[in-house]
Structure 1
Amino acid sequence: MIFNTDRRTFLRGAAALVAAAGADLAASGSEDPDALFKQGRFTDAERGYRRRLREDPRDAHAHARIGYLALLSNRFDAAEAHLAKAVALVPGDVASTQRLAECFVRQDRLAPAVPLLRRTGRPRDEAFAKVCSHITGTPWKVSGARATRVPFHTLDPVPSVEASVNGGRPQKFYLDTYATLDLSMEEAKRAGLRALATVEGGIVDAHPVVLHLGVLDSFRIGDIEIRNIPVQWNDAQRPPLPDGSQAAGAFGTTIFYHFLTTMDYAGRALVLRRTPAAPREASAGLPLWLAGDHFPCSLGSLGDHPPRMVTVDTGGIGSALDTTVAIAEEYGLAVDYDHPRERFGIKTYPVTASRAALGRAVRHDIRGNAAEKVFPGLPGPGQSAQFGFDLIANFTHEFFKPYAVTFDYRRMRMTVSGSS
């Protein structure tokens, strides 16, 4: 988004979540899986969809939703089976077609993803299909050390580290969980990249952004090298580094999910660990879901309310959380109506949360932003319609400063703890 604790407390929050789930169900008087899905009660929703399949094995909607739920949790076999069935039953199901393609992309199986991407009719999918079809070597080939720890060059405006592109000298890159691998125009030119496709990339500072897509031969972070990877670049102006210079780009979740990744804010370092294939046994921490190709989601709480679905976008400059005025008022956040600001043409207000938590990580009196209304560029609530389930907030940069946050995309767990 750059463009733009104690055990008792933890157990009390968990108990409240269980109680709230029961209360929600009683209040609704229904176990409609679509309603459960929208509430973020994924286990209950999947149980309901599977019940529908027992009644009608050709229920395309149930197959599509079970496939989507499996994809959110990186359960690839189930995602592939149910999404493929949904597309076979309803060939015009664009969302399931795109999610089936994403299922293959996340496994670095680009060949079967290409024809699916070309069937969606979406310009971005067609452009990405063209890029994928030009990767001739093993995609996302990782080599080097089993683990690497790279010191933060800066902590603010967001963390940055050095990395090198195509064997060039190390350059500074912002870290942002809402990023893919994005270069500046200057860095792309320096690396000799050739655009295989272009696509509109939204609006930044009232100006349309054109994304250029290509293939990167090599990206080196510390003692680890990644080869044959998709990359994009554009001419949007990024926030300057503290010395006034420009970063060479940003990278985030599409890199992070290939490793056991820790953004160690307290220790000021990025840690990447190459993890061997192993059973998906349960582990500590919070549940982790991946929406789209690079939007991590988990459970967070505001005030004394039970945990609900949130996004984790570490690229929010000068802020600990993003939400809407309506949600802020519902959850008891203090809204400063005397100091309105504007963001993407939408009025926003400073807010203060007396308490905000991700599991055992609890912050008090933290500041953030509340938008006057939901808009697509707002992380968290603005993406509820896009993802299909309700989100109450986005937890971002300032929240994480005392902690180390680890993303485990094999076990689909996120831990927020003291410095690693």
Structure 2
Amino acid sequence: MTTGGQWNRRSVLRGAAAMAGAVAAAPLLGGVATALGGDADALFKAGKFEEAGRAYEKILKSDPANVRAARQRGYVGLLANKFADAEKYLQKALELAPGDMDAHQLLADCYLRQDKLAASVPHWRAIGEESYAKWFSAVQGAPYQIHGDIGRAEFLRMDPMPQVEVSLNGGPPKHFTFYTGAPSMGMRSTVAKEAGLTPVASQKIDYEGGQIWAHYGVLESFKVGGLELRNVPVGWSSTESGEDVDTDNDGMIGTWVFYHLLTTFDYAGRSLILRRPTPDAVKTASAGTKPLPLWLAGDHYLHSIGSIAGSGPRVMGTNFGGSGVMAAVVFGDTAERLKIRTDHDRPLETFGHSAPTVVLPCYPEEIRVGSAVARDIYCEAATRGGTNEYGFDVPAAVFQCFWKPYNITLDFTGMNLYVAPGKAT
């Protein structure tokens, strides 16, 4: 699960499935797009994805057998949910190099996002994710079937993690939190048992210095307000003795659920709003708001454009839900390079992706994502994980405390993020 102290993709996913807290280190992805070089790679590293895509295409015109260019061009498409482009180039990369693990991984995520679960299975298997292969093989029929047009759930509480009321398989109300730093929907072992779930795959994983069991199954019905999802892949965790790992909440909603819907995190109005993703719904939710780009790296890490401490427009991690009192995590040498005030005398020992890490309090003069702005607010500077192994530079990622005066809507069809002050209408 960990190699040389660094987190690989499997440990990130499994840690999130175990309902881990907020990320306190840069997200990692097993080496995709490392060893950068050349104009195309420089553009990609700088977050100029469309320009990088054109540069990779130019490389392929002169060198059609260039595996890296094909894989990277597919990756550019996947970041923006341009699935036809992603499939075309990632399949080309695998034709050229059938054993390319990075291409298999990216193509597995590409099929997963489109609910082509059967098509994803051989690629999960190729990268050694046998539990995922068994899990998705067990899903019969279309997953994430949407019934109803809108579901609104008021926050039962805001801190330390927002909590909403949901129903599983028509049962009594359960208190779930949410976090886009987690992939699938997860729940406590006892909650899964009450809902009648049985695992289709299980695996022992590392978690906060010990080991737990991660189980995978399929939930018949998940309901929030007036909106219901049916046939939902879910996970739950238990200790060796079968006890719950986390008892603070009944479960957690992850990014896989949100990207099937038009999702509004209405922090100012203290509610979670889930809509069927139609053009009319997008128009209603985003009225009068300028769109920002939305990129999805890996299978659940969200990014948009923002700035920190005068950095100018940069790709920024954008996280919703989770816990923690920081407005942002500042990665690598960003705090030093941008001369952000940092308190080196008060290190904080915490966990990032369920692994021990140390962060330092810091206070950027300004953080901005669209119309959302915070000044001289408490943040944390990560002391490890300075290189974002998704292949592009990310100086910081913002978290729940940053968003509290705003409402934010995520449109995964148009791949736009909308930020507006105050309550959602």
Q: State the TM bucket, normalised to the shorter chain.
A: 0.7 to 0.9
In the alignment, the residues of structure 1 paired with residue 269 and residue 214 of structure 2 have an alpha-carbon distance, to the nearest angstrom, of: 34
1:164-207 Cα deviation digits (max 9, x unpaired): 11211110111111122011111111112111212344422x22
Match of 1:415 in 2: 418
CA shift in 2, pair 1:389/1:218, >3 Å = same
Match of 2:403 in 1: 400
Instruction: Calculate the TM-score normalised by the size of structure 1.
Output: 0.84
In the alignment, the residues of structure 1 paired with residue 346 and residue 63 of structure 2 have an alpha-carbon distance, to the nearest angstrom, of: 55
Match of 2:95 in 1: 88
Q: Which amino acid aligns with 1:252?
A: G
Q: Which amino acid aligns with 1:327?
A: T
Tell which deviates more after alignment, 269-278 or 163-172.
269-278
User: Which one of the candidate residues 129, 135, 142 is aligned to 1:131?
Assistant: 135
SS at match of 1:32: helix
Retained in 2: the 8 A contact 1:284–1:413? no
Match of 1:198 in 2: 202
In the alignment, the residues of structure 1 paired with residue 142 and residue 225 of structure 2 have an alpha-carbon distance, to the nearest angstrom, of: 21
Q: For this pair of structures, how many residues does the alignment match?
A: 376
In the alignment, the residues of structure 2 paired with residue 295 and residue 202 of structure 1 have an alpha-carbon distance, to the nearest angstrom, of: 21
Retained in 1: the 8 A contact 2:150–2:225? no
SS at match of 2:303: strand
Match of 2:62 in 1: 55
Q: Which amino acid aligns with 1:355?
A: E
Structure 2: stretches of 5+ with no match in the other structure: 1-15, 22-36
1:351-388 Cα deviation digits (max 9, x unpaired): 112100002211111111112222xxxxxx56x11x12
CA shift in 2, pair 1:229/1:399, >3 Å = same
In the alignment, the residues of structure 1 paired with residue 330 and residue 336 of structure 2 have an alpha-carbon distance, to the nearest angstrom, of: 10
Q: Which amino acid aligns with 1:354?
A: E
Match of 1:258 in 2: 260
Does residue 1:286 correspond to 2:292, yes or no?
A: yes
In the alignment, the residues of structure 1 paired with residue 156 and residue 186 of structure 2 have an alpha-carbon distance, to the nearest angstrom, of: 18
User: Which one of the candidate residues 370, 382, 386 is aligned to 1:371?
Assistant: 382
In the alignment, the residues of structure 2 paired with residue 316 and residue 331 of structure 1 have an alpha-carbon distance, to the nearest angstrom, of: 26
Match of 1:248 in 2: 250
Does residue 1:157 correspond to 2:160, yes or no?
A: yes
- Tell me the CA shift for residue 162 of structure 1: 0.7
Larger relative contact order (CA 8 Å, sep ≥ 6): 2
- Tell me the CA shift for residue 47 of structure 1: 1.5
Higher helix share: 1
Aligned-residue CA RMSD in angstroms? 2.3
CA shift in 2, pair 1:31/1:115, >3 Å = closer
User: Which one of the candidate residues 147, 150, 157 is aligned to 1:143?
Assistant: 147
Identity %: 38
Q: Which amino acid aligns with 1:417?
A: A
Match of 1:270 in 2: 272
In the alignment, the residues of structure 2 paired with residue 110 and residue 172 of structure 1 have an alpha-carbon distance, to the nearest angstrom, of: 29
Q: Which amino acid aligns with 1:297?
A: H
Retained in 2: the 8 A contact 1:3–1:238? no
Structure 1: stretches of 5+ with no match in the other structure: 5-29, 241-245, 375-380
User: Which one of the candidate residues 306, 310, 315 is aligned to 1:304?
Assistant: 310
